[in-house]
Amino acid sequence: MNTNGESRVEAANVARVDLQECPLVSVVIPVFNREGQIRAAIESVLRQTYSKLEVVVVDDGSTDGTVDEIEKIEDDRIRLVHMPENGGPSAARNLGIKESKGEWIAFQDSDDEWLPRKLELQMDALLQAEKGAIACFCGMSILTKDDALQSRTRVAYHPDPAIQISRKDMKQAVLRYSLVSTQTLIVRADMLRACGGFDTSLRALEDWDCTIRLSLLGDICFVDLPLVNQTFSANSLTHHGHSFSQARRMIFDKHLGLFKSDPIALSRVARSIAGDLRRTGEAGEAAKYLFLASKASPGNLALWPILFVTVAMSLKKILWSR
């Protein structure tokens, strides 16, 4: 698909990295039952203009023809490793990190596409950073099929252009917003291992949690170009709202000390959690998080009516249960 985003990438300045002297990048691809998509995902990595790479494909116990499709690709940069049992994408990525030989590690999802200059432009940003950086993420085009029209595809840019992102305030930004999708990320291998990799207890937003921990270890830079195409499919984890709601709550509790250091971040995330809980009828729990949000942002007058209504809903539910 040729989009305006791709035109922007083509018009970008030529990267300044010396492709002969550049470090090895290991690209980790976790996969489970993606027989129809995995080949395109791998080939988009192999087409990179930054060619000093290896591709570590981690099969997470696929039961379809996924492994056969991988083995059909003739390229000695590919290594296929197998999980002992299905463990989910975070466990598969962690095995890929362990198996990686590169100085830098990037990630691709098994049903997405990289534009050809993704690694080149990101590695250029990393290697040219004045004080060094331990990670870099890029923009992403999200392609969504309109189920109502059956034939139209909507394209959105992530992260939202309305969010102000600067390297100076990156620690603050990554705490307030889930900016980084895994397939947009490149990380120094030693820093990724030092932060502990991906939290296998999370079934969503593991990229946000990992980025928060990475931001405490060093600088993160951003290439504001759509270098990845993410396509929603029937079994994409992104469609499972409950997983995201649960993960958001777990990450908030896990990094509560950090959130308390930034009232805006605390208020934003606590309010999002409260919204999740209200939608599932858990008004009592929602009221707790709304109180935290209101306390962190007392000047946000819009929060207080929502808190009062939620408390009333909770009391009503208690009285009805008697």
pLDDT for position 12 = 62
Which residues are within 8 A (CB) of 224 and not within 5 positions of it... i.e. 6 or more apart? Answer: 138, 139, 165
Nearest Cα to Cα of residue 103 among 203, 215, 188: 188
Tokens of 76: 């000695």
pLDDT for position 10 = 60
Enumerate residue ranges in the chain where pLDDT < 70.
1-20, 146-151, 233-241, 301, 303-322
Q: What is each CA distance from 9 to 115, 125, 144, 217, in whole angstroms?
A: 8, 14, 21, 30
CATH class, domain 4-238, is: alpha beta
Tokens of 296: 């962190």
pLDDT for position 235 = 44
CB atoms within 10 A of CB 220: 25
pLDDT for position 73 = 97
Q: Which amino acid is at 21?
A: E
